[in-house]
Structure 1
Amino acid sequence: MRGALILFSLLLLSACGFHPRAQLNLPATLGPVSVQTSDPYSPLGLELATALQRAGATPAVEGSPSSALKITAEAWSTAPLSVDQFARVREYITRYRVDFVLVDASGKLVIEPQSIELSREYTYDINASAGSPAEQELIQRELRRDMMAAILRRLDVVMRSKA
């Protein structure tokens, strides 16, 4: 009975179109890759470098030619989204925009300059304003993680189409 239930669950799961996301594997033709940002301590840059290594990219060695994922701009903005009847802000939206380009070791563009913008909406409780900075920090961490994943997916799609 238990086996039939598992089999039925798997059949139902496959019928809905679910399938595990493929592992990101960068082609060896890309060669060593470095991540370049205007801020050498950028959390996004550090996380991208680690994620690229997990995806099979060889880390660049100082002084040797390598491909470069250049983060040309990184911008955060927060704006009111809605107000209550007393004109107090109730919801905010935080936007995170990153511009990037990928060049190979010879300086040739592999990926044209592109932008990705992500956003999160969140409510603001005037009675619990002490939690707002922590909530905003959590939202920024989540957006940064999602941005890293979006950039890696974009790299994967472009590299697969060129292969």
Structure 2
Amino acid sequence: MLLLTLLLLTACGYHLRGAIDLPEALNKMYVKGASPELSAAIERTFRTTSGELVASPEEAGMILNVLDEDYQRRTVSLDVTGYSNEYELIYRLSFDLLDSEGKELVSNQTIEVMESYYNAQTSTTLLSKDNEEIVLRRELYEEAVRSVIQRARAELKKKFH
């Protein structure tokens, strides 16, 4: 019965949450100019796929050239005592995508992802709220990576159709 269920799930196109199906050109990607946080997010994303990050542009099917990254934390609201109690986290990524021959597929694209969270600062919740921001920041980077992959997939579809 379990085997039958698994077969039915795979036949209907079911994938684990966060799993990404990469086109062949994206199976080997070289990343240039990324921050350590972005590099780690790309590695985590590629671990759930059939893709791999390569050490040189010559090995790559696609090159992600990071032009600029910007992470900001902005105060959205204050409590009655003047302390921040809600923040908005914003991550912007500007990049080019190059094919295996170094030709631009996507030029100077910017992705912006944001998340807000409530931060009632008390002595008992301060540490957990710091951890919450770390987790949200990590998720922002991973969402940006998924957006880059979606744009690459769309450009590859245009190029080969």
- Map of 1:15 onto structure 2: none
Q: Distance in 2 between matches of 1:50 and 1:142?
A: 11
- Structure 1 residues 53 and 104: CA distance shift in structure 2, 3 A: farther
Q: Partners in 1 of 2:144 and 2:20 — Cα distance?
A: 17
Q: Which of 74, 81, 85 is matched with 1:90 structurally?
A: 85
Q: Which residue of 2 aligns with 1:107?
A: 102
Relative to the length of structure 1, the TM-score reads: 0.70
Q: Does the residue aligned with 2:100 lie in a helix, a strand or coil?
A: coil
Return 5+ residue gaps in structure 2 as ranges: 1-12
Give the deviation of 1:151 after TM superposition.
Answer: 1.3
- Report sequence identity in percent: 20
The amino acid that maps onto 1:77 is: Q
Equivalent of 2:30 in 14, 34, 43: 34
CA contact (8 A) 2:57 2:63 kept: no
> TM-score scaled to structure 2, two decimals?
0.71
**In structure 2, what is the equivalent of residue 43 of structure 1?**
37
**C-alpha displacement of 1:57:** 4.9
Indicate how the Cα distance of structure 1 residues 89 and 47 shifts in structure 2: closer, same or farther if over 3 A, else same: closer
State the alpha-carbon separation in 2 of the partners of residues 131 and 115 from structure 1. Answer: 32
How far, CA to CA, are the matches of 2:59 and 2:66 in structure 1?
18
Residues 1-163 of structure 1 mapped to structure 2, 5 A cutoff: 24-28=21-25, 32-39=28-35, 42-49=36-43, 51=45, 57=51, 59-60=53-54, 62=56, 64=58, 66=60, 67-127=62-122, 128-163=125-160
Q: Is the 8 A contact 2:92 2:111 kept in 1?
A: yes
RMSD: 2.9
Distance 1:131 1:70 in 2: 35
